């Protein structure tokens, strides 16, 4: 075949279609590399060039031939030339050919032939794609939401404060039990100078009883010359044993301040666990919001850096084209201006990305509890897979939230504490009537002339008092009832708040799902439009200005998709917090999205 006959159509095709020129150069570089060597190399064995690669190369040549024939067909004109490129057939085959060639150049695996497949099996295009489990392995090295929530559980300071409240409540409970401690009482009194010389010593024990009473027992001995009006201080030679009991009959029998203090200390200890749970929900929600903001801004930064890289590479190519006379100085100037604008945008996004990393470090801490700044290498390459969440039953969700949320339990404990104060105040309106018992027995020889200490003595009676107005008790009742009414209103308001949080979170979740779908479609359409603009630009039917504008729109579409995905996961975190679900358990259910 005469080479001069085919040279003109090929040159015509390459002049009109720059991408065809690049494809032909690629094919010639693959097949001509062996001819450029000074010494011929032995032909590789058949196994090193699989049939799939040969088929791809053959199809690529056929499509190039069709494109060449259309380019020189006078009847088709220039309108038919971009049809094959618009369908993406050549580009797709070229990508498959490059991927297959890349796989063949990788080191051989055990039992393989250099293509990454076992011997005796023909590699296919699907096998050339890296398996998903390897990508999942790489994804697991990224920072996941479960890592942040686990770190928040372990070392977040506000959670530590809530946990330490357990020690405070336990100490208050022990202190309240101190009112029922057994007391050791003792005395030693001497009156060595004066007309009456006396020496008295005594020891005993006393204890507050559960039902408001007071019991005591002891031993005393008195020596000397006692005043006539203090004859009871004198004992026989062996001393005196005595016991006593005071038991309230009205005020202080059913309830007293010591028991109220102990009951309230028990309630404070019961409030520790729901207090920790409440703080977990708050801290985990804030951690989730900080994490998703970090993921979103980080991926926005990646898209903007990629857009900047495109502009920089195009600028270098435009400079070469301008020197060759293929591009104008206006195109170079427009692209240079765009580069600086994108540099400013990248720097602005970097600032936001670092700020979100600083905020995330408040929840991401090491073993010592020190905030740990997440490096950019930990950034997930995309959001986890978003699956459609079916509509829920509000009444059922509301009942579950009321049963799970710790705020209502904390309010219930406050109400119980106020009811104890109210019971005590009502009891204090009763008269103070106490029954008293006292028994004594002297031992040893008599020391008085009247010998009035030998017999067993028992004293019993009732003592009491009552304030006539009882304003202290009635005032306490009034204030406690008002506080109790306040807490009941607080309880009802919290129930309403839970319902509103559920509705708001559900509404945000539904809208976020719709926005994700719309943003994905917007990005798809923007990419298709960008492909058309590039095709028009390659055919000199559009100037660079339109192409640059469409690239910005594609970038804006990517940002909107990332924002929609961020809003979806923040709404999901709010929904989980409103339902009172375990944040750590919920975070482990998210499956990373594998591109």
One DSSP character per residue, 337-367 reads HHHHHHHHHHHHHHHHHHHHHHHHHTT-B-T
Q: Hunting for tokens 């470090």 — which residue is that?
A: 361
Domain with CATH 1.20.1600.10 in the chain: 145-162+270-412+486-587
With contact defined as beta carbons under 8 Å apart, do 527 and 256 qualify?
no
**pLDDT value of residue 516:** 93
Q: Which two tokens stand for residue 137?
A: 């392995």
Check pLDDT > 60 for residue 87: no
Check pLDDT > 70 for residue 147: yes
* pTM score, whole prediction: 0.68
Residue 141 dihedral angles phi and psi, to the nearest 5°: -80, -10
> Cβ atoms within 10 A of the Cβ of 2, count?
6
Name the band, by pLDDT with cuts 50, 70 and 90, for residue 77: very low
Reported as a single tens digit per residue, the pLDDT across 272-314 is 999 999 999 999 999 999 999 999 999 999 999 988 998 898 8
Among 6-15, 117-126, 236-245, which range has the highest average pLDDT?
236-245
Question: Across the chain, which distance is largest between two alpha carbons, in Å?
Answer: 158
Reported as a single tens digit per residue, the pLDDT across 245-266 is 999 999 999 999 999 999 999 9
Residue length of the chain? 595
Check pLDDT > 60 for residue 10: no
Measured distance CA(279)–CA(530) in Å, rounded = 48
**pLDDT value of residue 374:** 92
Q: Would you list the DSSP string of 468-494?
A: SS-HHHHHHHHHHHHHHHHHHHHHHHH
**pLDDT value of residue 541:** 67
Reported as a single tens digit per residue, the pLDDT across 499-549 is 999 999 999 999 999 999 999 999 999 888 888 878 877 777 666 677 777
Which of 70-74, 235-239, 255-259, 420-424 has the least mean pLDDT?
70-74
The residue that leads in pLDDT, 265 or 93, is 265
Reported as a single tens digit per residue, the pLDDT across 57-70 is 665 566 555 555 55
Share of the chain above pLDDT 70, in %: 74
**How far are the Cα atoms of 155, 402, 448, 564, 594 from residue 295, in angstroms, in the given order?**
22, 32, 96, 12, 15
- Helices of type H across 73-201: 83-87, 89-104, 132-139, 145-155, 157-177
Check pLDDT > 90 for residue 389: no
Output the average pLDDT for the chain.
Answer: 79
Check pLDDT > 70 for residue 29: no
**pLDDT value of residue 491:** 95
Name the band, by pLDDT with cuts 50, 70 and 90, for residue 21: very low
Name the band, by pLDDT with cuts 50, 70 and 90, for residue 123: very low
* Average pLDDT rounded to a whole number, residues 34-39: 38
> Cβ atoms within 10 A of the Cβ of 505, count?
21
Reported as a single tens digit per residue, the pLDDT across 330-359 is 878 888 888 898 899 999 999 999 999 999
**pLDDT value of residue 171:** 95
Which fold is adopted by the domain 145-162+270-412+486-587?
Outer membrane efflux proteins (OEP) (1.20.1600)
């Amino acid at each position: 075949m005469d080479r001069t006959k085919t040279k003109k159509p090929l040159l015509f095709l390459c002049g009109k279609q720059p991408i065809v020129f690049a494809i032909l150069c690629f094919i010639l570089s693959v097949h001509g590399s062996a001819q450029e060597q000074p010494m011929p190399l032995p032909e590789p064995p058949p196994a090193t060039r699989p049939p799939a690669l040969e088929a791809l190369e053959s199809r690529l040549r056929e499509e190039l031939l069709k494109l060449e024939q259309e380019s020189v067909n006078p009847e088709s004109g220039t309108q038919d030339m971009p049809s094959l490129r618009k369908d993406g057939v050549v580009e797709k085959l070229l990508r498959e050919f490059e991927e297959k060639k890349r796989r063949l150049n990788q080191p051989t695996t055990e039992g393989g032939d250099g293509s990454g497949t076992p011997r005796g099996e023909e590699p296919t295009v699907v096998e050339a794609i890296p398996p998903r489990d390897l990508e999942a392995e790489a994804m697991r090295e990224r920072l996941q939401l479960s890592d942040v929530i686990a770190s928040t559980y372990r070392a977040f300071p506000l959670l530590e404060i809530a946990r330490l409240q357990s020690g405070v409540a336990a100490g208050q409970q022990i202190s309240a039990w101190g009112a029922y401690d057994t007391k050791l009482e003792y005395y030693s009194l001497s009156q060595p100078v004066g007309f009456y010389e006396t020496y008295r010593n005594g020891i005993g024990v006393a204890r507050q009883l559960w039902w408001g009473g007071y019991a005591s027992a002891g031993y005393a001995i008195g020596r000397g010359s006692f005043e006539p009006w203090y004859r009871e201080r004198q004992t026989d030679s062996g001393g005196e044993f005595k016991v006593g009991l005071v038991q309230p009959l009205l005020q202080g029998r059913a309830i007293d301040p010591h028991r109220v203090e102990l009951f309230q200390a028990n309630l404070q200890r019961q409030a520790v666990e729901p207090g920790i749970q409440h703080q977990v929900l708050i801290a985990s929600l804030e951690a989730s919001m900080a994490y998703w903001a970090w993921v979103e801004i980080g991926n926005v930064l990646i898209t903007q850096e990629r857009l900047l890289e495109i502009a920089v590479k195009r600028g270098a190519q435009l400079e070469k084209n301008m020197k060759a006379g293929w591009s104008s100085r206006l195109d170079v100037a427009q692209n240079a201006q765009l580069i600086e604008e994108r540099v400013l945008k990248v720097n602005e996004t970097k600032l936001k990305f670092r700020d979100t990393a600083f905020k995330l470090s408040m929840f991401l801490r090491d073993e010592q509890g020190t905030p740990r700044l997440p490096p950019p290498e930990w950034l997930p390459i995309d959001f986890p897979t978003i699956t459609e969440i079916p509509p829920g039953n509000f009444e059922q969700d509301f009942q579950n939230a009321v049963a799970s949320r710790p705020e209502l339990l904390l309010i219930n404990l406050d109400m119980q504490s106020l009811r104890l104060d109210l019971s005590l105040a009502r009891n204090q309106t009763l008269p103070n009537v106490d029954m008293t018992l006292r028994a004594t027995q002297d031992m040893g020889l008599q020391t008085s002339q009247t010998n009035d200490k030998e017999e067993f003595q028992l004293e019993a009676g009732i003592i009491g008092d009552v304030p006539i107005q009882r304003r202290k008790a009635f005032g306490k009742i009034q204030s406690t009832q008002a506080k109790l009414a306040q807490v009941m209103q607080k309880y009802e308001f919290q129930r309403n708040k839970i319902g509103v949080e559920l509705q708001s979170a559900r509404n945000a979740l539904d809208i976020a799902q719709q926005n994700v779908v719309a943003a994905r479609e917007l990005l798809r359409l923007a990419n298709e439009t960008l492909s058309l603009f590039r095709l028009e630009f390659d055919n000199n039917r559009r100037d660079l200005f339109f192409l640059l504008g469409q690239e910005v729109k594609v970038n804006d579409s990517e940002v909107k998709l990332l924002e929609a995905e961020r809003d979806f996961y923040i709404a999901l975190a709010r929904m989980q917090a409103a339902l009172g679900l375990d944040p750590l358990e919920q975070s482990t259910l998210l499956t990373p999205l594998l591109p």
